[in-house]
């Protein structure tokens, strides 16, 4: 890739010295966000009774979506695909030393539903925002599902 002025070209109108053609500046590479923090509505309760709510999910790759199809549990029950997939893309949950499908299958259903929606938002829509309506005043506003509490920035 050449940077700076383009190649010298003879100016056909003047037949004089070469004219340097300027090129448009090359755009610099932007960093892409591939990990998103979240907070589970209820939280995963481990064997010691510790509740883990804060975690991180990474963007899924094609491999992440294909590998569950070879899993024996998924072949027996297609509904298990979500559990295996979430176990692959959640990179951190609280202070757990490791994430796996076994952790996901022992989560509360409301947390799994939250994670499914979160997965869809970051992988299909590219953001973690959701439109919501206040149940008391019917005011519509947008929240960021990637953690944080109301009033925090």
The pLDDT tens digits for 20-76 are: 555 555 555 678 889 999 999 999 999 999 999 999 999 999 999 998 889 888 899
88-117 mean pLDDT:
96
pLDDT of residue 30: 74
pLDDT of residue 59: 96
| Nearby residues of 53 by Cβ (< 8 Å), 6 or more positions away | 39, 40, 42, 43, 44, 94
pLDDT of residue 71: 87
The answer to whether residue 106 scores a pLDDT higher than 90 is yes
Most confident of 12-16, 30-34, 40-44, 80-84: 40-44
pLDDT > 70: what percent of the chain?
69
Structural domain spans, the chain: 35-144
76-99 mean pLDDT:
95
Q: Give the distance from CA 138 to its chain's centroid.
A: 30
pLDDT of residue 138: 82
């Amino acid at each position: 890739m050449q940077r700076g002025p383009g190649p010298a070209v003879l100016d056909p109108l003047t037949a004089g010295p070469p004219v340097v053609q300027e090129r448009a500046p090359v755009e610099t590479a932007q960093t892409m966000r591939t990990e998103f923090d979240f907070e589970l509505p209820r939280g995963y309760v481990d064997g010691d009774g510790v509740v883990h709510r804060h975690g991180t999910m990474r963007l899924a790759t094609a491999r992440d979506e294909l590998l569950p199809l070879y899993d024996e549990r998924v072949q027996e029950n297609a509904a298990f695909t979500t559990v295996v997939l979430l176990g692959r893309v959640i990179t951190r949950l609280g202070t757990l030393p490791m994430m796996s499908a076994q952790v996901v299958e022992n989560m509360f259903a409301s947390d799994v539903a939250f994670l499914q929606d979160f997965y869809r938002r970051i992988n299909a829509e590219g953001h973690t925002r959701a439109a919501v309506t206040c149940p008391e005043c019917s005011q519509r506003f947008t929240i960021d599902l990637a953690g944080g509490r109301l009033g925090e920035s």
